[in-house]
Each structure stands twice: as structure tokens, then as C-alpha cells.
Structure 1
Amino acid sequence: MLENKPSQSIMTELLGQSLYEVWQALCTAINKKYDMEQLWNTGGKNWTYEYKYRRGGKTLCSLYEIIGYQKKTQPKITISVFALFLKSIL
């Protein structure tokens, strides 16, 4: 477990501004709907960070961040697909 969670500026650098806004919306929706423990970890060899929502020793979901990911994908497409996914689960 990380002692210090990444700052807003670090998260914006990792995800890009538009995906960071989606990240915030997702976290807000999960926080409103579920009472969960939130854990930050290193992301291992494939990711920069891992953010888990857990309760009773079980993980509801894990979110991963990777340096430069927004440069490898088309953020508008990613946001659209992600928004549709969120609507289907929330």
C-alpha cells in the first residue's frame, strides 16, 4: 500500500485532463453508491498506480494508471466508451 496517494497534478499528468475528469466522475459515483475501503498501491511492472475499492477483504473494482497512456490512445474515443460502460453499471 502506498503511504501517499498521487496528487491531482500527478494524476492529470498520467491520464490527461479529459480522462482525469472521467476518473473523478467514476470515483464520485462509486463513493456515492458504495461504502468501500479505498487503497492505493504501486501498479507492479505494467502500471504506475493501482486504486482499489474493497469491502470485507473483497475487491469491487481496481483502477489502473500508466504514465503516458493518454498519448497512446484517442482520449475522446476512450471517454465515450468508458461513459457508456459507466451508464451500464451505475
Structure 2
Amino acid sequence: MALNEKEIYFIADKIVNTLIRKGLIQLKKDKPVIVDFVKQTLEQDAQREKEIDQKTLLYIENYKEQIKQENIDQAKFFQMIKRKIAEREGFVL
């Protein structure tokens, strides 16, 4: 399920507030600038994960018949291949 822009902003704001409250960061810029940076980072990661999903689907398409014949759990197979592609590309899921 993809998050909408408001949800991503809410998460980014929550992350920044938590880091400030726990004393893990001290802001050298205005809070909205930091929240926007975190929001952009989350959006970039979400886009990267979508790209990995697409690569996974393309990979699975090549083995569609074999998956059916061997009665492989498609959801588990998708997750396994996705993890391998993400790892190969240096992306942490």
C-alpha cells in the first residue's frame, strides 16, 4: 500500500519530533527544512522500492509457468526474489 503525501509528511514530522525529544539531534536549520528533507528521503526510498517491485515482477514473469507447475507460493516467492534484488542493489528493505 502506497502512502499519500500527507501520510509521508506525518511520518517525517513524527521522526523529527522524536529525534528532537530524545535529544538525538539539535537543529541547525528550521524544523520545516529538516522535516522536508526527511520527507524527500522517505519518498525516494518508496520510489526505489517500487522500482525493485517492478524488477521482481519482471523476473517472476520469466518463471510464471514453472511457478504454476511446481505450485510455488507466489507471495513467498515474490518476497524472496525482492529481497535478493534489493540486496544485490544495496537497498535495505
| Fold conserved between structures, TM > 0.5 | no
Greater strand share, 1 or 2?
1
Q: Which has the larger radius of gyration?
A: 2
User: Comparing both chains, which one has the higher relative contact order based on Cα–Cα distances under 8 Å and sequence gaps of 6 or more?
Assistant: 1
Greater helix share, 1 or 2?
2
